[in-house]
Structure 1
């Protein structure tokens, strides 16, 4: 077996030529935090789908198999982590499961971080047929999952209207396989705040944490991808879910606020920012990505 490079991530998700979503959102923070990143782009679009149009290509499962075969034949398929995000087809997702199992066979300590990107705000933006693949093939082999509230509800079959509901839902996900479950964002607080929750099982003992923060009235794209990447990095570096969770949310809030402040400057008073003006200010947030301010403290539940 080849030596496993330390801090090496195989990231399989979407990419764009312009802007920050998918691999474009995840690669820079991982590299800044000391990880080598190898990317497979499930789709390659000119820009994210929130613009008036987008053009590009979609990889199929044969394309993915071909790329992975190239890595294996050259004996460069050893990674410490695998990260997955947006995947648009059932066959592609099934091939991802095969690849994760193959990687874990040669490196049992490989950590698989899965962001099960399926939808948000009550609607799916991938085919419904991906849901059973996530439930039956992906969750049992994932070590860490980072769904949003909508995705958590889809994966567990239960509505989340309270912290108690969220804890029950995370328990359902733990029972399907992942040792660590993080609900990146949920909206059930009476004051309209966003609630993030994290749960992990260590030596049979469960730890659960909660962070709440104000909802910013704007649409950001690529934040879930950034969240999963930062969480992967800080969990590896700190080996502590509470600390990694706090640092990840602090990073996200810094990037979001910088993005919105800049968009408002570009737009001028009373005008709505364009999608291009709302692209994440990732490179400009390098200092905060490397050293997040301690802006949030996770409550122990």
Structure 2
């Protein structure tokens, strides 16, 4: 596949495109990264160098790629953290152009806003923008449980409420003609009745819903959501919406990400051991059972 990935960039560490591009390439995909910010490191350090890239510059890069005939070759558009509210227009315009040239192309949106522990950590205008304009244009979204709750306007905590929230987002707003995404991957599902010391992910599409459970590793890994969104997109998109596609993509993604996180924890390093764990993307040694929940 040819993947146009519009995300942030850091020189040190692995978040945004700095987390997504290499695993996708290791799986054999062609990735064309377009950066929305150019930082020295992720903002979790509290200090960084660099700046957000102006929306006009991002648009100019996409326009020049179009002039080379690249947009007609794109199979998937992937977007993540948006440095400013005006980037959404550029992303949506790129998606529309890609789909006009290749109607089979899909758009994956990782609606980065925050998490249950930290709350929202993006520009205050972005969550509403994601909910009202960007997510409805996506085919696949990959929110965490907190972000899904915001998108649906509900509290998503139990399995039932999380499934209902995903259904609500996928339904869109038929009364206004606004469609919703066709598939949802919910990362970092923390329902109160799960087994202690575990973490889950949930995949939902028109074929059903599936959940997978892994041990919860006791550390924070910036960029793991970006890797998760990229890997699930890579595994799911070639069979988008087909029977078994979501369950298979969920199993493969979970195995790879868990092995990456385990290797990172064992290294004692703060940053993801993205290169060191590269075999896990192609041939993970970990395997977790995926269970159908409807």
Scaled by the length of structure 2, the TM-score of the pair is 0.91
Match 1:68 to one of 59, 62, 67:
62
1:28-43 → structure 2 map (5 Å cutoff): 28-43=22-37
Tell me the SS of whatever aligns to 2:56: helix
Per-residue deviation at 1:166? 0.6
Alignment correspondent of 2:249: 244
Separation in structure 2 between the aligned mates of residue 63 and residue 258 of structure 1, nearest angstrom: 37
Separation in structure 2 between the aligned mates of residue 248 and residue 231 of structure 1, nearest angstrom: 6
Alignment correspondent of 2:183: 180
Tell me the SS of whatever aligns to 2:6: strand
Alignment correspondent of 1:271: none
Per-residue deviation at 1:229? 0.7
Tell me the SS of whatever aligns to 1:283: coil
Give aligned pairs, total. 278
Per-residue deviation at 1:69? 1.3
1:131 paired to 2:127? yes
Whether the aligned pair in 2 keeps the contact of 1:94 and 1:133 (CA below 8 Å) is no
Alignment correspondent of 2:15: 21
1:227 paired to 2:231? no
1:143 paired to 2:139? yes
Q: Deviations over 1:20-71 (max 9, x none)?
A: 1110110011001111000111111111112252101211211111111111
Judge which range, 164-173 or 50-59, deviates more: 50-59
Separation in structure 2 between the aligned mates of residue 236 and residue 292 of structure 1, nearest angstrom: 20
Separation in structure 2 between the aligned mates of residue 95 and residue 132 of structure 1, nearest angstrom: 17
Alignment correspondent of 2:176: none
1:91 paired to 2:83? no
Whether the aligned pair in 2 keeps the contact of 1:247 and 1:293 (CA below 8 Å) is no
Per-residue deviation at 1:15? 0.9
Whether the aligned pair in 1 keeps the contact of 2:8 and 2:36 (CA below 8 Å) is yes
Separation in structure 1 between the aligned mates of residue 43 and residue 123 of structure 2, nearest angstrom: 16
Match 2:101 to one of 106, 112, 128:
106
Separation in structure 2 between the aligned mates of residue 158 and residue 122 of structure 1, nearest angstrom: 18
Tell me the SS of whatever aligns to 2:277: helix
Q: Extract unaligned runs of 5+ from structure 1.
A: 1-6, 264-276
Against the structure 1 CA distance between its residues 52 and 158, is the aligned structure 2 distance closer, same or farther, given a 3 Å change threshold? closer
Q: Deviations over 1:123-169 (max 9, x none)?
A: 11112211222122212221110000111111111101210001101
Whether the aligned pair in 2 keeps the contact of 1:147 and 1:183 (CA below 8 Å) is yes
RMSD across aligned positions (CA): 1.4
Whether the aligned pair in 1 keeps the contact of 2:213 and 2:289 (CA below 8 Å) is no
Separation in structure 2 between the aligned mates of residue 298 and residue 28 of structure 1, nearest angstrom: 26
Match 1:198 to one of 194, 200, 203:
203
Separation in structure 2 between the aligned mates of residue 112 and residue 237 of structure 1, nearest angstrom: 12
Tell me the SS of whatever aligns to 2:181: coil
1:171 paired to 2:133? no
Alignment correspondent of 2:278: 286
Separation in structure 1 between the aligned mates of residue 126 and residue 248 of structure 2, nearest angstrom: 32
Per-residue deviation at 1:290? 0.7
Whether the aligned pair in 2 keeps the contact of 1:22 and 1:85 (CA below 8 Å) is yes
Tell me the SS of whatever aligns to 1:27: helix
Per-residue deviation at 1:294? 5.1
Separation in structure 2 between the aligned mates of residue 52 and residue 74 of structure 1, nearest angstrom: 39
Separation in structure 2 between the aligned mates of residue 24 and residue 115 of structure 1, nearest angstrom: 15
